[in-house]
């Protein structure tokens, strides 16, 4: 009878030990998931903060009418012409009333030739050309006439402003700045008219064109 009690006591002790070990294992296995969850929550908060502080990339664009700095130029010489001049490569070419016109978006280069008995002067341009343009260019304003030097020699320069023709699709009118150059040699006159929006910075491109003019 005492042996039976001993066996039962040992069974009870074993059961207690098994229960304690099981509880310990269960408690230790529940720790890592809790720690993992806390770590995940911390990472999520950090990522959200970094995303909110990042600034969007700025949008870059040239002002309307600005000719790119990397614009290429090609030589133009009219059939049987006595001169050459560089014009922007890739621009659309058309003929208008005996003149050759190159256009791209809001910019324009017009080349016209004429026979003349004498070279144009600041005085003659002011008294003859300015009144003519005033009647042709909408809202013609601010004419300034001067004598300038280019690689081909002396030329008369007329600067003025005026409205462009209305866009056939949108009807929009652009305020343009004009540079009109008159080159002369031995009875031949060549007029270069360069135009683009008044806020465009095309000083260098227009200088490239007018400095490239040469007699042949």
Secondary structure, 3-state, the chain: CHHHHHHHHHHHHHHHHHHHHHHHHHHHHCHHHHHHHHHHHHHHHHHHHHHHHCCCCCCCCCCCCCCCCCCCEEEECCCCCCEEEEEECCCEEEEECCEEEEEECCEEEEEEEEECCCCCCHHHHHHHHHHHHHHHCCCCEEEEEEEEEECCEEEEEEEEEEECCCCCCCCCCCEEEEEEEEEEECCEEEEEEEEEECCCCCHHHHHHHHHHCEEC
31-53 helix and 2-29 helix, angle to the nearest 10 degrees: 10
Q: What does the pLDDT profile of the chain (216 residues) look like in tens digits? A: 444 444 344 343 343 333 443 444 444 444 444 444 434 444 444 444 444 555 544 433 445 789 999 999 999 999 888 999 999 999 999 998 889 999 998 999 999 999 999 999 999 999 999 999 999 999 999 999 999 999 999 999 999 999 998 888 888 999 999 999 999 999 999 999 999 999 899 999 999 999 999 998
Residue whose token pair is 């509880």: 23
What the block records as the tokens of 82 is 């006595």
pTM of the model: 0.70
Asked if 74 contacts 86 with a C-beta cutoff of 8 angstroms, the reply is: yes
């Amino acid at each position: 009878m005492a042996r039976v009690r001993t066996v039962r006591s040992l069974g009870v002790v074993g059961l207690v030990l098994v229960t304690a070990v099981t509880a310990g294992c269960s408690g230790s296995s529940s720790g890592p998931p809790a720690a993992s969850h806390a770590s995940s929550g911390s990472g999520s908060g950090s990522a959200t903060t970094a995303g909110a502080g990042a600034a969007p990339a700025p949008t870059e664009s040239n002002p309307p009418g600005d000719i790119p700095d990397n614009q290429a130029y090609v030589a133009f010489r009219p059939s049987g012409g006595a001169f050459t001049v560089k014009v922007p490569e890739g621009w659309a070419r058309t003929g208008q009333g005996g003149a050759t016109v190159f256009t791209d978006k809001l910019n324009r280069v017009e080349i016209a030739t004429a026979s003349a008995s004498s070279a144009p002067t600041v005085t003659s341009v002011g008294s003859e050309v300015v009144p003519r343009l005033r009647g042709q260019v909408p809202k013609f304003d601010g004419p300034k006439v001067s004598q300038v030097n280019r690689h081909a020699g002396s030329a008369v320069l007329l600067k003025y402003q005026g409205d462009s023709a209305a866009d056939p699709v949108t009807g929009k009118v652009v305020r343009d700045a004009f540079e009109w150059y008159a080159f002369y040699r031995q009875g031949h006159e060549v007029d270069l008219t360069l135009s683009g929006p008044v806020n465009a910075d095309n000083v260098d491109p227009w200088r490239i064109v007018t400095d490239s003019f040469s007699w042949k």
